[in-house]
């Protein structure tokens, strides 16, 4: 018995030391925060060392530091004396879980370091693990600010269960955004933990500055999350930060209210020392020690079984709770997106003709201005659009969750009586076809801009196919559905024909082919089969149209080829691909880039969908010359009748229509749902 007590005592000491070591490591990993991992200085406006602005800035930083222990982790202040030109506004935001002392230490450190990092600039911001500090000569309070973004990722890759990791991460991010927006404490801060596997937990965090509205907080966090796949795909951790909000996830507890670390694996008993194993028999080990080892082994096995049962039970409860939370979140999302009809009527001057900017297949588009001054595109669906109220709301919630810089964002909806209305962001630079097929306007699209547009479209489609929480097939990609913002960045629009796939679904069929001739893949136009490769085909057509400046459905050259795709392929076979290039690109194009884009376009429009690359591969081809491209096969045949117009095949076809007039052309509509 004395030997057993000695062994147990040794085991306990070993476990205590290991546990204390783990606690020390976690404590260090959480507390170290004195080093800024990002900062920005606006170099356009500066001050001199002995100026009034510098004096005001010193006062501001002193006030912020002294108030860090008396607030709930957020404080803003303005110093203005002598002149309005020398006013300085500043604020700090501490992570929602840090103590008052840690908050003050971080703010004090940031106050000293930021003026050294940005010694002359009137506008500056620094990001730390525990806080952010910013100041500016411009008013920055209660305003959504998504300038000065920063991103970081954990260098370690996810090696197993990547799909499961993505799903858990998506659920965590959705949950923390909803709870941060609704945080009753006023901090606009939320964290969540969920199991990825039986032994791995994922930790997530979201936070906004408390001075912005709940709607702006939701917008900011959604934008931050939409950038995580770009910066941090496949990584064990990542964060994306704006001045007004930030999100982060890791496979370890990085905030102070994390759950306690999981128990360490059982420690095997050490071999008995000579002093313990005195009464040895023929086997060289005492019976007491043998009994002790057997007892410990049985105990550890029992503890393992109990622990496993506990984890399974806990996982089931979390799953049930997640299902309930998801339903609640969907209801909350619907409410947050819904606008009153009177608000939309006022915004559009009661749908006046002066505000009308376009017409799509499902209704008219109007420019509107919301009460907060934001310009929007309002899509008023025709009453025969074919959807009920519940279908309409479900679809809105689904599309609203598609947040990416290369997608037009759905801002809300209105559903009153017979009115079904969608509110989208207003994109001022019209659609791609407005520039591309106009002999004068196309001169504004030099090759760098066209190449930027091609890559932007690829990013948007890749997000729909692979990186969003749902796999979305657009089904109506065309140049008129690619909008251009002020900086000529591409934004994919009009999800009126989109279909949602399960994460493991690859294709589907329909008895009613709806789309636009010239962009539809042959398997979809002829047989109603559609998949992600249908969108790839449409993307290939758009790429060839961007390079040539010619529209596929209107291209006709009887002496060489019947359509743009065949024309491009024959030139490629004859080793004369650059002859299809728009002449206005002369002097601005890169021979290698144009040739490679033609090659990629031809790979995308191959007749057999199995030979077309995925959008992930296309994106890689566009961004890396290390990827070797295969030789393209003959593209799909684009049939015409005797007068040169597309022939109608076996199924009912719907030709999407739109108007391009001198304003924003936001071709937006609501998805027509079919049973799956």
pLDDT in tens, 419-466: 888 898 898 888 899 899 998 999 999 999 999 999 999 999 998 888
Residue 82 lies in a domain: yes
Contacts of 544 (CB under 8 A, 6+ apart): 552, 564, 565, 568, 580, 598, 601, 602, 605
Distance in angstroms (rounded) separating the CA atoms of residues 530 and 525? 9
Mean pLDDT on 409-427: 87
* Four-point Cα dihedral 665, 666, 667, 670, nearest 10: -160
Candidates 40, 97, 174, 476; catalytic one: 476
Domain boundary among 250, 272, 302: 250
* Four-point Cα dihedral 164, 168, 173, 178, nearest 10: 140
Query: Cα angle at 172 between 169 and 177, to 5 degrees?
Result: 125
Give, as one character, the DSSP assignment of residue 338: B
Q: How confident is the model at residue 656 (pLDDT cuts 50, 70, 90)?
A: very low
Mean pLDDT on 212-227: 92
Distance in angstroms (rounded) separating the CA atoms of residues 231 and 174? 18
Binding site residues, as ranges? 379
According to DSSP, the β-strands at 356-360 and 245-250 are unpaired
Residue 193 lies in a domain: yes
Residue 78 lies in a domain: yes
Distance in angstroms (rounded) separating the CA atoms of residues 315 and 312? 5
- The pair of three-digit structure tokens given for residue 674, joined into one six-digit string: 């079919």
pLDDT digits (tens, 9 = 90+) for 554-601: 776 555 667 899 899 999 999 999 999 999 998 888 999 999 999 999
Distance in angstroms (rounded) separating the CA atoms of residues 237 and 247? 11
Mean pLDDT on 609-638: 86
- Per-residue model confidence (pLDDT) at position 556: 63
- Answer yes or no: are the C-beta atoms of 660 and 359 closer than 8 Å: no
- Per-residue model confidence (pLDDT) at position 418: 82
Residue 416 lies in a domain: yes
Question: Are residues 188 and 131 part of one domain?
Answer: no
- Per-residue model confidence (pLDDT) at position 445: 94
- Per-residue model confidence (pLDDT) at position 668: 37
Question: Are residues 116 and 47 part of one domain?
Answer: yes
Domain boundary among 71, 103, 136: 136
- Per-residue model confidence (pLDDT) at position 360: 63
CA dihedral over 10, 15, 21, 23, signed as positive or negative: negative
- Per-residue model confidence (pLDDT) at position 459: 93
- Per-residue model confidence (pLDDT) at position 391: 58
- Highest mean pLDDT (candidates 99-113, 278-292, 323-337, 659-673): 99-113
C-alpha of 516 from chain center:
28
pLDDT at 641 over 80: no
pLDDT at 502 over 50: no
Question: Are residues 483 and 623 part of one domain?
Answer: yes
Question: Are residues 629 and 560 part of one domain?
Answer: yes
Q: How confident is the model at residue 409 (pLDDT cuts 50, 70, 90)?
A: confident
Question: Are residues 536 and 640 part of one domain?
Answer: yes
Contacts of 203 (CB under 8 A, 6+ apart): 191, 192, 193, 249, 250, 251, 252, 253, 254, 255, 258
- Per-residue model confidence (pLDDT) at position 518: 84
Name the phi and psi angles at 480, rounded to 5.
-75, -15
Q: How confident is the model at residue 183 (pLDDT cuts 50, 70, 90)?
A: confident
- Per-residue model confidence (pLDDT) at position 538: 94
- Per-residue model confidence (pLDDT) at position 584: 92
- Highest mean pLDDT (candidates 241-255, 367-381, 513-527, 547-561): 241-255
The burial of 518, by beta-carbon neighbours within 10 Å (0-12 exposed, 13-18 middle, 19 or more buried), is given as buried
Percent of the chain topping pLDDT 70: 73
Q: How confident is the model at residue 320 (pLDDT cuts 50, 70, 90)?
A: low
Residue 324 lies in a domain: no
- Sheet-wide strand order for 201-208: 150-153, 238-242, 245-250, 201-208, 189-195
Binding site residues for ATP, as ranges? 379
> Which of the pair, 647 or 290, is modelled with greater confidence?
290
- Per-residue model confidence (pLDDT) at position 177: 95
- Sheet-wide strand order for 410-416: 356-360, 363-369, 375-381, 419-425, 410-416
> Which of the pair, 232 or 624, is modelled with greater confidence?
232
- Per-residue model confidence (pLDDT) at position 563: 85
- Answer yes or no: are the C-beta atoms of 255 and 203 closer than 8 Å: yes
pLDDT at 136 over 80: yes
- The pair of three-digit structure tokens given for residue 492, joined into one six-digit string: 């994919």
- Per-residue model confidence (pLDDT) at position 575: 92
- Per-residue model confidence (pLDDT) at position 317: 62
Task: Supply the range of the domain harboring residue 166.
Answer: 156-250
- Per-residue model confidence (pLDDT) at position 203: 95
Residue 46 lies in a domain: yes
Name the phi and psi angles at 381, rounded to 5.
-70, 140
The SS3 assignment for 40 reads strand
- The pair of three-digit structure tokens given for residue 447, joined into one six-digit string: 């090759």
Distance in angstroms (rounded) separating the CA atoms of residues 119 and 131? 20
- Mean residue pLDDT across the chain: 78
Residue 365's nearest CA partner among 379, 381, 383 is 379
Q: How confident is the model at residue 627 (pLDDT cuts 50, 70, 90)?
A: confident
Residue 564's nearest CA partner among 574, 550, 575, 576 is 550
Question: Are residues 439 and 413 part of one domain?
Answer: no
- Per-residue model confidence (pLDDT) at position 11: 38
Question: Are residues 89 and 61 part of one domain?
Answer: yes
- Highest mean pLDDT (candidates 253-257, 468-472, 559-563, 613-617): 613-617
Question: Are residues 453 and 600 part of one domain?
Answer: yes
Per mean pLDDT, which range of 116-125, 270-279, 468-477 is the poorest? 270-279
Domain boundary among 372, 402, 425: 425
pLDDT digits (tens, 9 = 90+) for 282-291: 344 556 677 7
Residue 4 lies in a domain: no
Question: Are residues 371 and 347 part of one domain?
Answer: yes
Residue 146's nearest CA partner among 122, 125, 120 is 125
CATH number at residue 72: 3.30.430.20
Residue 476 annotated as catalytic:
yes
* Four-point Cα dihedral 398, 403, 409, 410, nearest 10: 20
Distance in angstroms (rounded) separating the CA atoms of residues 503 and 645? 38
Report the length, in residues, of the chain.
676
- Highest mean pLDDT (candidates 65-69, 87-91, 312-316, 626-630): 87-91
Q: Name the strand (E) or helix (H) holding 249.
A: strand 245-250
pLDDT at 674 over 60: no
Q: How confident is the model at residue 49 (pLDDT cuts 50, 70, 90)?
A: confident
Name the phi and psi angles at 648, rounded to 5.
-90, 130
CA distance readout (Å), 29 to 129, 238, 255, 467: 11, 16, 9, 30
**Please, where are the H alpha helices in 88-242?**
100-117, 162-181, 214-232
Mean pLDDT on 304-323: 71
Contacts of 307 (CB under 8 A, 6+ apart): 263
- Per-residue model confidence (pLDDT) at position 257: 65
CATH number at residue 400: 3.30.200.20
Question: Are residues 359 and 219 part of one domain?
Answer: no
Percent of the chain topping pLDDT 90: 38
Question: Are residues 627 and 492 part of one domain?
Answer: yes
Give the CA radius of gyration of the chain.
Answer: 30
Question: Are residues 580 and 442 part of one domain?
Answer: yes
C-alpha of 228 from chain center:
5
- Per-residue model confidence (pLDDT) at position 291: 79
- Answer yes or no: are the C-beta atoms of 450 and 547 closer than 8 Å: yes
Give, as one character, the DSSP assignment of residue 465: I
- Per-residue model confidence (pLDDT) at position 519: 87
CB atoms within 10 A of CB 273: 10
Mean pLDDT on 514-531: 80
pLDDT digits (tens, 9 = 90+) for 352-407: 999 998 776 567 889 999 988 999 999 888 766 555 566 576 567 667 777 888 99
Residue 327 lies in a domain: no
The structural domain count of the chain equals 4
- What are the counts of helices (DSSP H) followed by strands (DSSP E) for the chain? 15, 23
């Amino acid at each position: 018995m004395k030997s057993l007590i000695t062994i147990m005592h040794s085991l306990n000491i070993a476990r205590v030391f290991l546990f204390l070591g783990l606690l020390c490591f976690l404590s260090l990993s959480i507390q170290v925060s004195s080093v800024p991992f990002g900062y920005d200085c606006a170099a356009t406006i500066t001050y001199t060392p002995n100026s009034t602005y510098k004096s005001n800035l010193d006062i501001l930083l002193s006030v912020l530091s002294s108030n860090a222990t008396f607030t709930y982790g957020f404080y803003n202040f303005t110093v203005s004396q002598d002149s309005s030109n020398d006013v300085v506004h500043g604020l700090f935001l501490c992570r929602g879980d840090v103590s008052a002392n840690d908050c003050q230490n971080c703010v004090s450190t940031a106050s000293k370091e930021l003026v050294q990092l940005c010694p002359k600039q009137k506008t500056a911001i620094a990001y730390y693990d525990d806080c952010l500090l910013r100041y500016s000569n411009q008013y920055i309070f209660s305003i959504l600010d998504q300038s000065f973004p920063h991103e970081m990722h954990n260098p370690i890759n996810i090696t197993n269960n990547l799909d499961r990791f993505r799903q858990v991460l998506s659920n965590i991010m959705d949950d923390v955004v909803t709870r941060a927006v609704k945080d009753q404490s006023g901090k606009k801060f939320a964290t969540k933990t969920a199991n990825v596997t039986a032994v791995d937990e994922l930790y997530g965090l979201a936070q906004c500055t408390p001075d912005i509205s709940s709607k702006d907080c939701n917008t900011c966090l959604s934008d931050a999350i939409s950038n995580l796949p770009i910066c941090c795909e496949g990584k064990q951790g990542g964060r994306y930060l704006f001045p007004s909000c930030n999100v982060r996830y890791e496979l370890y507890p990085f905030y102070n209210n994390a759950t306690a670390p999981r128990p360490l694996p059982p420690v095997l008993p050490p071999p008995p020392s000579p002093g313990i194993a005195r009464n040895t028999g023929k086997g060289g080990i005492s019976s007491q020690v043998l009994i002790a080892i057997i007892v410990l082994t049985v105990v550890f096995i029992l503890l393992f079984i109990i622990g496993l049962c506990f984890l399974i039970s806990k996982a089931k409860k979390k799953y049930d709770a997640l299902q309930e939370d998801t339903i609640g979140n969907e209801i909350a999302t619907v409410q947050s997106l819904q606008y009153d009809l009177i608000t939309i009527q006022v915004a559009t001057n009661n749908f006046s003709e002066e505000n009308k900017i376009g017409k799509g297949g499902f209704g008219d588009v109007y420019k509107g201005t919301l009460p907060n001054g934001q310009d929007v595109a309002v899509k008023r669906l025709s009453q025969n659009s074919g959807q009920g109220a519940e279908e309409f709301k479900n679809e809105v919630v689904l599309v609203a969750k598609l947040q990416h810089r290369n997608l037009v964002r759905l801002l809300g909806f209105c559903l009153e009586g017979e009115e079904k209305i969608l509110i989208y962001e207003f994109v001022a630079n019209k659609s791609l076809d407005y520039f591309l097929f106009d002999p004068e306007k196309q001169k504004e699209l030099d090759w760098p801009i066209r190449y930027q547009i091609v890559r932007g479209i690829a990013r948007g489609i890749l997000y729909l196919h692979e990186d969003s929480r749902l796999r979305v097939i657009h089904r109506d990609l065309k140049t008129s559905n690619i909008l251009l913002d002020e900086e000529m960045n591409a934004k994919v629009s009009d999800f009126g024909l989109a279909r949602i796939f399960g994460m493991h679904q690859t294709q589907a069929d329909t008895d009613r082919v709806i789309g636009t001739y010239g962009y539809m893949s042959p398997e979809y136009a002829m047989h109603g089969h559609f998949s992600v490769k249908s969108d790839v085909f449409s993307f290939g057509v758009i790429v060839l149209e961007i390079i040539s400046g010619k529209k596929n459905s209107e291209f006709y050259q009887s002496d060489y080829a019947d359509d743009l795709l065949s024309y491009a392929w024959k030139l490629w076979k004859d080793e004369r691909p650059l002859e299809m290039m728009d002449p206005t690109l002369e002097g601005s194009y890169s021979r290698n880039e144009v040739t490679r884009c033609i090659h990629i376009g031809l790979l995308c429009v191959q007749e057999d969908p199995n030979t077309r690359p995925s959008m992930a591969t296309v994106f890689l081809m566009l961004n890396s010359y290390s990827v070797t491209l295969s030789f393209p096969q003959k593209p799909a045949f684009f049939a015409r009748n005797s007068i040169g117009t597309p022939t109608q095949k076996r199924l009912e076809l719907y030709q999407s229509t739109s108007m391009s007039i001198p304003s924003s052309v936001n071709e937006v509509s609501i998805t027509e749902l079919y049973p799956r």
